[in-house]
Every structure is written in C-alpha cells, then in structure tokens.
Amino acid sequence: MCMTTDIFTASAASAAGAATRHEEHGRYAQALTLPDMQQRLAQVQARIAAACARVGRAPESVRLLPVSKTQPAESIRLAYAAGCRAFGENKPQEAHRKWQELQGELPEARWCVIGHLQTNKARLVAQCASEFQALDSLRVAEALERRLQAQGRALDVLVQVNTSGEASKYGLPPEEVAAFVRALPAFSALRVRGLMTLAMFTDDAARVRACFVRLRQLRDELRQSAPAGMSFDELSMGMSGDYEIAIEEGATVVRVGQAIFGARAYH
C-alpha cells in the first residue's frame, strides 16, 4: 500500500463517484513533481479511508494499486519516491519493459499485470510479475505454469470475472467460475488469491454497484466449495471513477491510475 504522511479531508461521497465517471476521465492534470504526487496519493488515501468509515472497515484492509500503464518512467519514479512499491500494468510487454528499465533503480518495485494475457506473452509475465489479476482461461494457466516451472517460481493470481455481462470485457461469466477454479489445483505454480472484475462503464451508480456486489457474492460462494489451499481473500475491483463504491462492497484492492498519475500518456 502506498502511504504518505500528509492528511487530507475526505471528499465526495461514493454515490456521486460513478455519476461523474465520464467527466473525470481526461480531467486529471499530470503529476509532475514529488509534492504533486504526494498530494494525489494523500487525497486518494483519504477517500479510501472515508469509504471504509462509511461501512465500518479499517483502511488497512484496502490495498491501493497505482496503475502506471502508459505512464513514463519518470512518473513511476515519483510514485516510488512517494512510497509506492507496486504498480499495475495492462500490457505484459509494457510491464516487462519497465521492469527491465527500472529494476536496478527501484529495487523494491513490484509489477502487477492486470490486463488480458495472450499465451504467447506468458513468458513476460512469468519473468517480471509478482501478481497477475486477469486469469480467465486454462490455456493461459497452462502457459504460465510452464514458464513459471522453468524459472522455479510461483505467481499470485486472481481470476477475472465478467460481472457486467458486456461482450467488450474479458473474464469468465460468473456461472463458469466455480468449475474453472476446480481445475486450477493442477497448476501448482499459480497461487489463487481471489477475484477481479471491471464494472460497467456507466453513469448509473446502481449498475456499477451491482457488478461489485456480484463479485463479492461469488467470492462468498467459492469459499464454501473451493479446493483446499486456495485463498479467496482478495477482491480487486474499482478504478479512479468508482473505487469508493467498490470499497463499500468489499474491495480489498483498488486499481487507481489517472487520479494518481494524471491523464494517460497515449501515443
């Protein structure tokens, strides 16, 4: 978790969070200095704490994962200086490139791949990632297992679930997750830690919340039937526009990019 010593007053109740999702995207200015980055992190942490307080949770129960996709190395250096030690990347090749560039300079940095993985990119994830949050097929599990075994290492994984039902999103349909999970003990290098989802992209807060409620309910069901040794402690859900709602519904990991780094640097 990223920590700062600054204290900011919590703002904006989560009910308004999803309603302003469209406006928020592209609105954030780039964080260019260490004080900028520290302030952004403090503001996000304050909103996490406020969301936790609304539902009687401890702020320490939520892990903030800064999403650095498309961001330059200098922005990652600023976040690291501000206390961040884990960074989320959508594309395996981008995560691997940044890992190669920064591993000597930022020795405690951990890379979490949170986007869809093609089997021919499994080598990159197996080499550089400490966590993979988008496991949604046995073909990918097999490819990761083979690469991880060759390197003699294990990988924390989260199963991605498509709780919105949108064809544009990756992830397993909720009704297929239990059977999928029952097949995963065959892959000893994969340590199953929980579930991940992307909410529907909409201004309707109730529909956003429903996606998170469905993931939590599914997690609770899996805890009753999952194979021995599997942990379902992690619920990765919520991004810059909706992480407060996600926390209210049980998120243990929130993936926040633009609210920390600023607008994405697409080329």
- 6 in any annotated domain: no
Contact 163, 182 (CB under 8 A): no
Query: Residue 222's Cα: distance from chain center in Å?
Result: 20
Does pLDDT of 222 surpass 80?
A: yes
Query: For residue 231, what pLDDT is reported?
Result: 86
Residues 216 and 103: their CA atoms lie apart, in Å, by 35
Does pLDDT of 242 surpass 60?
A: yes
Q: Say what the pTM is.
A: 0.89
Query: For residue 30, what pLDDT is reported?
Result: 86
Residue 90 belongs to domain with CATH number: 3.20.20.10
Residues 29 and 27: their CA atoms lie apart, in Å, by 6
Does pLDDT of 66 surpass 60?
A: yes
Three-state SS string across the chain, please?
CCCCCCCCCCCCCHHHHHHHHHHHCCCCCCCCCHHHHHHHHHHHHHHHHHHHHHCCCCHHHCEEEEECCCCCHHHHHHHHHCCCCEEEECCHHHHHHHHHHHCCCCCCCEEEECCCCCHHHHHHHHHHEEEEEEECCHHHHHHHHHHHHHHCCCEEEEEEECCCCCCCCCCECHHHHHHHHHHHHHCCCEEEEEEECCCCCCCCHHHHHHHHHHHHHHHHHHHHHCCCCCCCCEEECCCCCCHHHHHHCCCCEEEECHHHHCCCCCC
Tokens 């260490």 locate to 34
Report pLDDT digits (tens) over 67-76.
999 999 999 9
- 214 in any annotated domain: yes
| Nearest alpha-carbon partner for 126 in 109, 146, 107 | 146
What average pLDDT does range 104-111 have in this prediction? 97
- 103 in any annotated domain: yes
What average pLDDT does range 101-116 have in this prediction? 97
- 4 in any annotated domain: no
| The total number of structural domains that make up the chain | 1
- 267 in any annotated domain: no
- 180 in any annotated domain: yes
Range of the domain at 166: 14-261
- 50 in any annotated domain: yes
Query: For residue 15, what pLDDT is reported?
Result: 38
> 22 pLDDT band (50/70/90 cuts)?
very low
What average pLDDT does range 237-252 have in this prediction? 97
Report pLDDT digits (tens) over 95-105.
999 999 999 99
Which two tokens mark 57?
């949770």
> 27 pLDDT band (50/70/90 cuts)?
low
| Least confident span in 30-34, 40-44, 134-138, 167-171 | 30-34
What average pLDDT does range 199-217 have in this prediction? 97
- 247 in any annotated domain: yes
What average pLDDT does range 240-258 have in this prediction? 97
